[in-house]
Amino acid sequence: MVGKESVAMCSAGHEDLARVTWNVPEGHVATDSLPTFTPTDFVAVINQTLEYAYPSVMIVGEVASFKVNQGKWVFFDLKDEETSIPCFMTLWAMRQPLEDGMKVMVRGTPKMTKWGKFSFTVTAVQPVGEGSLKKAYEMLKKKLADEGLFDPAKKREIPKPLDKIGVISSTGAAGYADFIKIVNARWGGMKIVVANTQVQGMDAPDQIIRALNYFNERNDVQVIAIMRGGGSKDDLSCFNDEKLVRAVAASKIPVICGIGHEVDESLCDLACDVRASTPSNAAEMLTPDRKAEIAKLKRTMLQTRQAAVQKIDAFNVRKNIIDVLKNIKREFAVKEDYVKQKITMLEALNPEVILKQGYAILQGEIKVGNEAKIITFNSEIITLIKEIKERNQNG
């Protein structure tokens, strides 16, 4: 067939789908047994075959020749002892720092370039193995700390009391079950809205980011709790994803993280407002204990009663004092009257008063021939006693 569109079956073992179309260039002849392609078509056929056979695969290997071009294209080789695969990705898709020597797991699709070179287009990459995870963790931690993402001054307190909590977790995970069990045991009457997401693996960070956005857009929960039980460092490494860490730090709603065990520290733990050591610990931090609250309630009422009794006692004491004072005042008034009477009486006996009434006082020995003194109100008279007569007192 010359210059016409031909159709052939690709021999990749996928006869049902791998029907490809190509154009045979002018002047060339396609044999019935062997398909003939232009280079462009051949690359397209290869890529289509690869895409069908391996739409998305994971490869684990060591990073070599890592470089970033123009601040947006990432190139590295993924190798083991015998083989090296050239990899390409955008810087945007690189969610944790990479460097030569790191062991990583990449997800992507194999592809042949238009220059006929094989390349692996990476859509997601994640360090694996303790050494690589630690290295990536430390590099990203330093970068984000320098930006102030973990600044303690930015931490907010969890509002209290809580009516509505947003939870991001896998509803099938043990950590989630622990969290719900302890929350229910400790407190009641709250609404708990759960966003079910993966909490490990390459897809987990984006799912958790979407759930964070969901809660922040609706803004009707008071706190967001990100929960995940214990696991290996590989399992927990999704919580060191740069975009997720940034989303946690940027959340308008306060975030509490309960990820892994006490010894596990993820970058999300550092970026969130409150870090709980485990999901169970997060449940304890978010809720008061109903038994303790009931005991506190009883104690409060007892103290209130005591306070009321004390105030009543104090009132009675005050009242008693006032009564005593009133009595004293009353008694004092009586005494005052008595004293006044006495004063009046004494005043009545005052010789001066008597003299003023016209009486006179006779001083001296009353004997004929003696001198005596007569004192009146206005004068003193010296007189000689000539005679003394008996006086009839009846007048």
Partner 1 sequence: MAEEKKKLNDKIAELDKKVEWFYSDDFKLEQAVEKYKEAAALAKDIEKDLTELKNEIEVLSEDFTK
Residues that bind partner 1 (CB under 8 A): 161, 163-164, 171, 180, 183-184, 187-198, 203, 207-208, 210-211, 214, 290, 293-294, 297-298, 300-301, 304-305, 307-308, 311-312, 315
CB of 229 to partner 1, least distance (A): 18
Cβ distance to partner 1 smaller for residue 24 or 162? 162
Tokens representing 70 are: 């123009």
DSSP per residue, 306-348: HHHHHHHHHHHHHHHHHHHHHHHHHHHHHHHHHHHHHHHHHHH
Nearest approach in angstroms of CB 125 to partner 1 is 19
Please report how close the Cβ of residue 233 comes to partner 1 at its closest, in angstroms: 24
Distance in Å, CB of 161 to partner 1, minimum = 5
H helices of 219-278, where?
233-236, 242-250, 267-271
Task: Kindly tell me which of 207 and 237 has the beta carbon lying closer to partner 1.
Answer: 207
When the beta carbons of 308 and 382 are compared against partner 1, the nearer one is: 308
Q: Which is nearer to partner 1, 194 or 248 (CB)?
A: 194
The smaller minimum CB distance to partner 1, of residues 308 and 361, is found at 308
Tell me how far, at minimum, the Cβ of 267 lies from partner 1, in Å: 20
Q: Which is nearer to partner 1, 63 or 202 (CB)?
A: 202
Measured from the CB atom, the residue of 183 and 249 that comes closer to partner 1 is 183
- CB nearer to partner 1: give 316 or 341: 316
Nearer CB in complex with partner 1: 71/189: 189
CA distance 124 to 144: 20
Q: Shortest CA distance to 110 belongs to which of 87, 78, 82, 80?
A: 87
What 3 state SS string does 51-97 have?
HHHCCCEEEEEEEEEEEEECCCEEEEEEECCCCEEEEEEEHHHCCCC
CB 162 to partner 1: min, Å: 9
Q: How far is the CB of 301 from partner 1 (least distance, A)?
A: 5
List, in sequence order, the alpha helices (H) in the chain. Answer: 39-53, 130-146, 174-186, 204-218, 233-236, 242-250, 267-271, 279-286, 290-349, 351-356
Of the candidates 186, 208, 187, the one whose C-alpha atom is nearest the C-alpha of residue 196 is 208
Contacts 24+ apart (CB under 8 A), 141-149: 141/267, 141/270, 143/97, 144/242, 144/245, 144/246, 144/267, 144/270, 144/271, 145/270, 149/245, 149/246, 149/249, 149/270, 149/271
Of the candidates 230, 238, 224, the residue with the CA atom closest to the CA atom of residue 259: 230
Bridge partners, 164 (sequence order): 191
DSSP 8-state assignment for residue 158:
P
Residue 293: CB minimum distance to partner 1, A: 6
Using CB atoms within 10 A of its CB, is residue 43 exposed (0-12), middle (13-18) or buried (19+)? middle
C-alpha distance across the termini of the chain, in Å: 184
Which one, of 166, 144, 257, lies nearest residue 212 by Cα? 166
CB of 204 to partner 1, least distance (A): 10
The residue among 142 and 191 lying less far from partner 1, judged by its C-beta, is 191
- Rounded to the nearest whole angstrom, what is the least distance from the CB of residue 197 to partner 1 in the complex? 5
